[in-house]
Structures are given as C-alpha cells and as structure tokens.
Structure 1
C-alpha cells in the first residue's frame, strides 16, 4: 500500500502516527543522537516514546549504537523531539529514505534541527574526544537528496547553502560551551559514502579541500533541513584520528567506546543549548 504513495503522502502518514503519540505536544527543536549518544534521551521530562518500527514508511537503522526510537518531551525547558539513531546511505537506503525523518520533522513544525555524529579527525590539532561545531561541509557522497521530482509543498527547488549551519546557533553553541567549561572547536565536515573508512590518500585529499573532519552521515540531512527552512547545527565528536593521521587501526568498537566516554560532555552541551534556546524563545 505504501509503495503506491508519493514521498509526501508517506510523510503525512508517518506524521499522523507520531502525532497520535504526541497529542497536543509541539516540539520546537529536534536533536539527532548519533553513535553511542542515545543516553541523552533518558533526561527528557514527561517523555513520550515511540519505536520507529511502528511508524509507517520510517527507515530502520542497522548501524551499531542506533536504538531506533523517538523521544518527545521537555529538555531543560525546551520542547524537543529526539531521534535515537539515524539511517545512513551506506546501509543501502536511497538519499530520499535517509532524509525521510527530516521531512517529517519539518512538516511537524520543528524550528531547529540539531544533529550529532562521530567523525574522524583530519586536522592534526584534533584529538579523540574533541567536540567540534560544524561550520560548513563538503559533500563527497556522490549524491544529493534533492535530486528527482520537486515537491513544492516541502521546499524550494534550489536552496541557498551559504549558511547551511546557522550562524546564530553557532554563536549560541559557543556561549553554551563556555558556560559548561567545554572547549568547543569549529570545523568543516567532509562526508564520504562509506561504509569502509577512508584511505590515507582520501584523507589527504579531504584535507587539501579544506576539511577538518570526515564521516559518513549528516550532510544529506543538513541539505534537506535547510531546504525546509529549519535552522541547523551539527556537533561532531572526534572518535579517532582519520586514516594516515596516526598509527591506529580503525574499528567501530573504538568509535563507540570514545563516543561513550564523550557522551557526558556532549550531553551537557546539548542541555546547555536547550536552556539557551528556551530562554530566547525562538
């Protein structure tokens, strides 16, 4: 039945399913919790929880550290919707499927889209455990989620990406980080398709192009969030030095371990960000 529907109609059905659980609750900010960061959702007050498997048309994550739940409630006074996990292009999903949750959030009226992820450090000054506010990106995934038929009820056809990462939210993040004693850095994120880690030559290429971080997610979501008019911010936790930047052998277990070790600091920063957004009311 769902196969016969357009992407927009699928999103309407998914939104109806979420609203049956949300009731009159209207989230202002969405937060996507990447690898190993799902525990932040435990701090949401008056939580309404929905497994993504119960939402029609919602893609299911197969990546480690992604629980596949939606948590709605209040975090530090801010009405939020948290996604415990995301799906990736490397899992075999299309770009439209990868960004389907972003479409639904935009239709729900979410004003800010805040994503977290794990990354490899390309800048030699970045070390595992560092938290970086992404200020720009380079799309090396070979695809764009806006290709195909245009849906004017969703977005403009050619969104401006000059400020894909909201300058206002970057400033708010700087203040929030200073308030909780976190040395927040800024950087450019280069997205590869994955799932293999980048080669040393690919990392050197990314560095020449101006990247500070490499990863396998987030950029498709950011493109769609901007197309739908949401303010967007991304916090990237450096899980390892990228290939060729050190002698380490890269494994997903090490990524999850570093992310778990960093979850307290990143959780504190997310809470501080929510307090700041709650106080300004935007």
Structure 2
C-alpha cells in the first residue's frame, strides 16, 4: 500500500504509515544501520563505497517520496563502511518539487525507526561569504530556517520525540570537531559557517543574498534544514557538510545554473567521499 496523501493531522495514520515503511525495508535487508546519510546533488556515487549493500529503490518503498531532480537517483543503500552499518539515501526530496516539509522529512523518521542514531546531511550550496570559494567544503554550525515551513507542524508522534524541540544546538558539537580534525589530518581545506535555507527553485536575487548576509548566513541552499529539525526532534546526532558549488549573484557576473552545480560537485566529489569515509570510520 502507498499512501499518496498522508494526513499529517492524524497521528495514528502517520505511525501506521511509518511502521508499514519500516517493515517493508526490514523485509529487504536484515542489516540494522547505526549511522544514516542523505546525499546532496552530485554526491550519489558515494553509495557505491558501501560493502555488502542491499539496495532498495524509493519507488518500491511504501509511502516513500520519489525525487524528481537530476543528481538524485532515488535509492536506499544499507551496507557497511569501516565495519559500521550505514544507511545511505542516494538522493532527497525538496520543497520546490511540490512536497511539503512533512513529506520531505518522512524518510528521516524512517531512518530513526530503523535504528540510526546519527545522521550526516550533505548538500550543494552557494557562497554568501566572500571568504568562501567554489570547491570549498563547509561544516554547518547553525542554520537560518526563516523560509522553511515547519516540518513538525501537525500531529505529534510521542514515540519519536517531544512536542516542542530545543534547537539551540541543531548540529552536534562533537561531530563538528571530529569533521574538523579529520579534514585537517587529510589536508582538506574546510570552512565552518551558517547555512541559510532558500525554498527555490529560483536562485536568489542580489537583494535576497545581501539580506541573508546581514542575518548571518555564510551560504544559501535549498535543502537540509527541515531534515535537521526532524532528526533533532527524533533524538539523532546530526553532522551537516555543505559543498560550495558557486558564488551567489552578488559575487559573480555570470548566471547560476543546476548544470554548474553538478559540474563543480563532480570536481570535488572525490575529496568529499574520502572525508565522509574518514568521518564515518571515526564516529
């Protein structure tokens, strides 16, 4: 059964749908992930790093949304890296595709119910700060969610987390330090900063980018924030890694395109994959 229009005001229906999804995934793999990862645009090849992986297309999973954007293949991998069991989402959904944020974050709840206590979120984004350049990686230390419709709106699922969620530390400080140390040991340049959420699918105007800079954003992107909110609500420890693919329009005279984003991601995917592997190994 696939629930196409899930009623997020009905806690019983939501939990029934989640259990159906989890039961189906468990019927396809006996592995129990301790770490989960959601891959951003252009990073889908990371999933091929997993050993002994069970692969499940999203379209086969009951109630699971299917990505419609290039660079997001739409498959769930459950396998091993460095002796740890990890679930990797090869692609995510976005608000601009027409999904609400409750649907976008449905897989996060599923990953938690499958057993994952830690979540690594990756994304492609544009630089607001002049100190960043395309090709940089950035540890997300905090985010701005002003334009993100709240994913926890609606029915409260007591089994998964509290009604009101403390977001004073949306990203785990110990994981941030771990990522910094791993990058330093590997000789990889890495930044740290604030991720500003933009709903898309249009790229930002110059006025909007300047406003984000005033508010404290170092980068801006179209994902990640809603997933983090739900993961924190579920009690997961979260690490966010942004891949900077372009300078926003206040720093560039050229036009931004999705093809440019994918092209830069291909150029930096090798070092990103190596860093993610090292982080997972030491988690």
TM-score range normalised by the length of the shorter chain: over 0.9
Matched, 1:11 2:14: no
Cα distance in 2, alignment partners of residues 265 and 6 from structure 1 = 43
> Displacement, 1:75?
1.1
Cα distance in 2, alignment partners of residues 230 and 38 from structure 1 = 23
TM normalised by structure 2 equals: 0.95
Matched residue, 1:205? 211
Matched residue, 2:137? 131
Matched residue, 1:271? 277
Q: Report the number of matched residues.
A: 276
Pick one of 171, 179, 186 that aligns with 2:185: 179
Matched, 1:63 2:69: yes
Tell me the SS of whatever aligns to 1:162.
Answer: coil
Deviation by residue 1:178-222 (Cα, 9 ceiling, x = unmatched): 122111110100001111001110000000000000001000000
Tell me the SS of whatever aligns to 2:63.
Answer: coil
User: Given that residues 165 and 234 in structure 1 are in contact (C-alpha distance below 8 angstroms), is that contact kept between their aligned partners in structure 2?
Assistant: yes
Matched residue, 2:221? 215
Matched residue, 2:118? 112
Cα distance in 1, alignment partners of residues 135 and 146 from structure 2 = 24
Cα distance in 2, alignment partners of residues 94 and 19 from structure 1 = 26
Pick one of 96, 99, 102 that aligns with 1:96: 102
User: Given that residues 140 and 193 in structure 1 are in contact (C-alpha distance below 8 angstroms), is that contact kept between their aligned partners in structure 2?
Assistant: no
Pick one of 188, 194, 217 that aligns with 2:194: 188
Matched residue, 1:154? 160
Matched residue, 2:267? 261
> Displacement, 1:37?
0.3
Matched residue, 2:82? 76
> Displacement, 1:246?
1.4
Tell me the SS of whatever aligns to 2:28.
Answer: helix
CA RMSD, Structure 1 to Structure 2 (Å): 1.2
Tell me the SS of whatever aligns to 1:6.
Answer: helix
User: Given that residues 124 and 242 in structure 2 are in contact (C-alpha distance below 8 angstroms), is that contact kept between their aligned partners in structure 1?
Assistant: yes
User: Given that residues 136 and 244 in structure 2 are in contact (C-alpha distance below 8 angstroms), is that contact kept between their aligned partners in structure 1?
Assistant: yes
> Displacement, 1:263?
0.4
Cα distance in 2, alignment partners of residues 163 and 269 from structure 1 = 23
Structure 1: 4+ residue segments shifted above 4 A = none
Tell me the SS of whatever aligns to 1:248.
Answer: coil
Deviation by residue 1:78-136 (Cα, 9 ceiling, x = unmatched): 21000000000110001110000001011112010001000000000110010000000
Matched residue, 1:280? none
In structure 1, runs of 5+ residues without a counterpart are: 278-282
> Displacement, 1:142?
4.3
Identify which range, 195-204 or 141-150, moves more after superposition: 141-150
Matched residue, 1:22? 29
User: Given that residues 136 and 164 in structure 1 are in contact (C-alpha distance below 8 angstroms), is that contact kept between their aligned partners in structure 2?
Assistant: yes
In structure 2, runs of 5+ residues without a counterpart are: 7-11
Tell me the SS of whatever aligns to 1:187.
Answer: strand
Matched residue, 2:9? none
